[in-house]
Chains A and B, each alone.
Chain A
């Protein structure tokens, strides 16, 4: 069995998620080769063949060109699986590759129970196994679901891929930086986060007071940030920050997969939620079944004593 792993390079840097692809291939028991549109000066540690298209020549993400690079490597390697991370890169590029090859895709794989591809659905309230029916399959894996074991090692055998430069249908203009951060959640030891379940903007202050009483920082889920209840710099999740505090208190957060991806490295998770069956309960060390607006002020008072 052979897997072609599609590594990712963004804003001048090889992304660490590359090693999650390797960990996944290891679990599949697949021999692997890699593709990278990136820099020869920043190659992944990897013992195997690496098809490299130089970013200096091709530039950063251009979907039509990157599709061509991947298809070229597929033709050379003849892999059973073509594996991406389910990132803004992977979910954009993977279906293009699958459509070009007319093969199946399994999106955002979170596990391999009995060798089956497991994905989540309905906001992580259900799981589903997906069975490929084509000879070859494109896979995207959930970021953070397959942690690398040990330090990556090795040096790849590089084969340069040169594709004729197509006039892609999408022209990359540039990056727009994230808003200035007023808080660095990645260094916080305690994070108390507000989710949609807090109900309204004023209630986010109640959550912030508990964060303060515990000596921690305020976090937030995406709906809270989109509603304008908290600034983006406080957002935890796939499109926010990935955090690893000693204590994470999730207040009124249902546990959408994108949020879990950002906080599941927390050492200890307390969830406060009215719904005993909320998916956050799956990963919480302690689930308090309660109304957030009753429990949190009581906890703040207790911690402030």
Chain B
């Protein structure tokens, strides 16, 4: 008995010429749009309630978003907290991050910060104290403070943009680094521009895909 259905076989069927890329975007023969990953900062204002951090971090892991750092802390309003997330994703991914975050009920508003937003990170760097003068000189160079010292170690606090912290860590490594602890990035929009406020849950028409440059948000 016959197994299957009648009809022209696959190779006898016409196939359209067009195609889509991996991001589901129809390939226009003239411009092939594929978005490369870029690093950006997303700020979310959330209700300060138990479980919200795990909601957010769980969302990132189960949707396989490429997360660089995530920081959380209280705000001027004791009922609200701000979560600052640095992600590295192509534009459609960044768009998804924002939309998925917005879906969480305790999330009040979400926004991608402009490249010129202020971004800061804090690092504690514990180094060998064999050459205390030079350690102090390097700390100075990075506006660092020595927050603890012992006969064998010195711990320096450095704040600044990620690149600055990285440069500091690099320079301190000549003394021998014992331990490092870093906070990850926290950020605020510049001037009167509001980082994330009530009522900014934008109607998600289409995300702004033109935002190209991400360079130097870090203006130190």
Partners in one complex: no
Interface residues of A (CB under 8 A from B): none
